[in-house]
Amino acid sequence: MKRAIQNFLYILPVCAGIAALFAVLTGQSEEKNAWILSFSKFRVLLIIAAFAFLFLTAVVFFFRKKKQAYLYGIIGFLGCLSAGILLFSRFPSDDTRNLIPLIAARAMPLLLAMLCACLFWTIALRVRHERAPCYYGAFLLITATLVYWAISSHIDRYAWQINLRGNTLMCLSMVLSVLLWTFLLQSEAERRWKIAGGVLFFVILGYCVTRSTGMWMGRAETPPKAYWNELAEAFLQGRFYLEHPSGTHDLTFYDGKWFVPNPPLPAILLMPFVLLSGSADAINMCVYSAVLAGINSGLFFLLLVLAFTKEGGPFSREMKLVDGSSFPGQMLQIAGWVTALFVFGTDHLWLGTTGQMWFISQLLVVTFTLLACIFVVSGFSPLAAGIALGMGVLSRPNIFPVWLCLLGLWLHQRAVFPRLKWKDTLLWCLKSGIPVVVAVALLLLYNKLRFDEWMDFGYVTINGADWILDAVQKWGMFHPHFLKNNAEVMLFGLPELDFSGKRFFFQPHVAGYSIFVMTPALIYVFRSFRKNWFAMGAWISVFLSVGMLLLYHNTGAEQIGYRYLLDIAAPLCLLTADGLRGKVSWVFKLLTIVSICVSFAGIYWWYLGRV
């Protein structure tokens, strides 16, 4: 069966070559440019190129059973060449009569055939499990970026309703980051520089994909209910309230003033930028949320790499047994796939496109919980880890159970389960816990200054959905009454699929749906039940957080999946990597791709496909 699939994949490029040659031969040249057999000089060159491509595909087909490592070079060259020509056809002029677009249009069948051949050959090589050279991933990413760049440039030029300005700079940044990281991996540079190159690549990838996705969905500028830029301006002017808010939905009205009920960290971080720009309106909140998404992407990758490479890290011993070395080996593949899963296969991607109040708070929770874990794995002072987690509390207070994951990571470096050095452990707990307690105290003081009550967070009188307000006023913020509804959404909710053709096929309920439908690759966390301090701490933090969320007064209101899952993204990404047991299987890759597809389908539904 596998051989039949391979044969089919190798014959498809030959068919594409025949189709490209036929398209080139049947094309008509202008009579005044006729040279040989009514063909222009360019058309003759194009026919020769089509014959050469057809010959190449035939050679590959006849030698398909031999060692195919040389094919990676051919694929890389053809992919980048065809994608580059496709991109160049969009420049340098907006004039559609320009010679370059006309030439590219005539060569389009051949360019598409070359790209299709690269795709089919790549799949065939992966079916055979042929080992790819390290530069091959760079070729694929650059080819994909150039193709996307060409498509988006074309759409931006002729579809006025879509604003894709800035895509050129993003795509160029992507290409440069790919080249830089590939160079660092191939060089004799120190490990830290190779890791830095990977972090930079994922930061740029996360930002570019998030920002570009938002642009395609029409979310390019600051939307309603952003508020954080306005609150940052209010802080700079010595106020805790919004004087002339852009809207009032999800704000709290008290003593004749409108307040943002959420903890204030997002606004505090925006204050320097509002000060420099001179106005809250000058801050694009969609860019702000996309930047946070990019930073989180780099932090996911950095945490996973450090977990493998740092002495005493949760995966350092296993990686050395599997690979014989700690860098880069299989570790890069695991870190890359798990990072892609959590950045693009959860609600994280959607949150990064929104630019709105609640969702930016959620992104910052991911940022600071990841930083806290990174500080522990890197051997930083417990105060640093505590400060990072305390900052997260100033964005969403209910994330404090992640502290147990930090404790588990620290113990894993210093003791073999179940042994414990009580004195050192108590001292670490004290040092790491103090900043969290201070953050809680500051949050309560903030409540007192706003609402004259230490424990009033403003949610009981929020100008929001009536059903949320009624639930909070009747049952409180946390209550067993909410358990059933939260469990149905978090664990068992299913999206509706409609193939009638009357609307977009993916129509989930606006309240959200199961985390295992949104991100099916999460099932790998259940392979991480091990008797060590890391697994114990991570799992206890997950169970406590899930328990609190099951008792919470709403499921996340309007969302595409279950966004509160990201409160525990840091321990979950570590548990998922641990569940891979040192190898990225094809099942995990498939589930990750499905997760990303579901995420993009949900985003399209949210912005354009809701009926």
For the ranges 67-71, 177-181, 219-223, the lowest mean pLDDT is seen at 67-71
For the ranges 535-539, 558-562, 602-606, the lowest mean pLDDT is seen at 558-562
Residue 327 has pLDDT above 70, yes or no: no
Looking at residue 37, its pLDDT comes to 59
Note whether 150 and 292 are same-domain residues: no
Question: Amino acid identity of 140?
Answer: L
Phi, psi of 581 (to 5 degrees): 55, 40
Asked, for residue 531, whether it belongs to a domain, the answer is yes
Residue 382 has pLDDT above 60, yes or no: yes
- Location of structure tokens 């059933």: 484
Looking at residue 209, its pLDDT comes to 96
Last residue of a domain, one of 160, 187, 210: 160
What are the tens digits of pLDDT across the range 565-598? Answer: 999 999 999 999 999 988 899 899 999 999 999 9
| Count of residues making up the chain | 611
Looking at residue 323, its pLDDT comes to 47
Asked, for residue 208, whether it belongs to a domain, the answer is no
Note whether 101 and 240 are same-domain residues: no
Asked, for residue 207, whether it belongs to a domain, the answer is no
Note whether 151 and 283 are same-domain residues: no
- Location of structure tokens 């060409």: 150
- Nearest CA-CA partner of 522 in 378, 340, 342, 398: 342
Average pLDDT of 536-562? 92
Asked, for residue 50, whether it belongs to a domain, the answer is yes
Distance CA 573, CA 589 (A): 15
- Radius of gyration, CA atoms only, the chain: 27
Q: Percentage of residues in the chain with pLDDT exceeding 90?
A: 53
What the block records as the tokens of 407 is 């404790």
Please tell me whether residue 515 adopts helix, strand or coil conformation.
Answer: helix
Note whether 153 and 263 are same-domain residues: no
Note whether 285 and 152 are same-domain residues: no
Note whether 18 and 132 are same-domain residues: yes
What does DSSP say about strands 252-254 and 257-259: parallel, antiparallel, or unpaired? antiparallel
Instruction: Please list the helix, strand and coil fractions of the chain in percent, rounded to the nearest 5, in that order.
Output: 70, 5, 30
Q: What is the model's pTM?
A: 0.89
Looking at residue 94, its pLDDT comes to 46
Please tell me whether residue 258 adopts helix, strand or coil conformation.
Answer: strand
What are the tens digits of pLDDT across the range 516-533? Answer: 999 999 999 998 888 889
Note whether 98 and 232 are same-domain residues: no
Contact (CB, 8 A) for 222 and 274: no
Under the banding of pLDDT at 50, 70 and 90, the label for residue 321 is very low
| DSSP state string for 138-182 | HHHHHHHHHHHHHHHHHHHHH-TTS--TTHHHHHHHHHHHHHHHH
Give CA torsion, residues 377, 587, 143, 72, to 10 deg. 100
Looking at residue 187, its pLDDT comes to 83
More confident residue, 89 or 267: 267
Looking at residue 96, its pLDDT comes to 45
Alpha helices, DSSP H, located in 452-558: 466-475, 483-487, 515-518, 533-550
- Location of structure tokens 């301090």: 533
What are the tens digits of pLDDT across the range 140-189? Answer: 888 888 888 888 877 777 666 677 777 888 988 999 999 999 888 888 88
Contact (CB, 8 A) for 365 and 395: yes
Last residue of a domain, one of 132, 160, 188: 160
Under the banding of pLDDT at 50, 70 and 90, the label for residue 303 is very high
Note whether 410 and 527 are same-domain residues: yes
Residue 97 has pLDDT above 60, yes or no: no
Terminal C-alpha separation, the chain? 43
Distance CA 289, CA 296 (A): 11
Domain extent at residue 413: 228-609
Looking at residue 30, its pLDDT comes to 56
Number of domains in the chain: 2
Residue 99 has pLDDT above 50, yes or no: no
Asked, for residue 216, whether it belongs to a domain, the answer is no
Asked, for residue 270, whether it belongs to a domain, the answer is yes
Give the chain's mean pLDDT. 87
Note whether 235 and 89 are same-domain residues: no
| DSSP state string for 47-79 | HHHHHHHHHHHHHHHHTTTS--HHHHHHHHHHH
Average pLDDT of 316-343? 74
Helix axes 191-216, 167-186, angle to 10 degrees: 160
Last residue of a domain, one of 160, 179, 195: 160
What are the tens digits of pLDDT across the range 337-373? Answer: 999 999 999 999 999 999 999 999 999 999 999 999 9
What the block records as the tokens of 341 is 């899963």
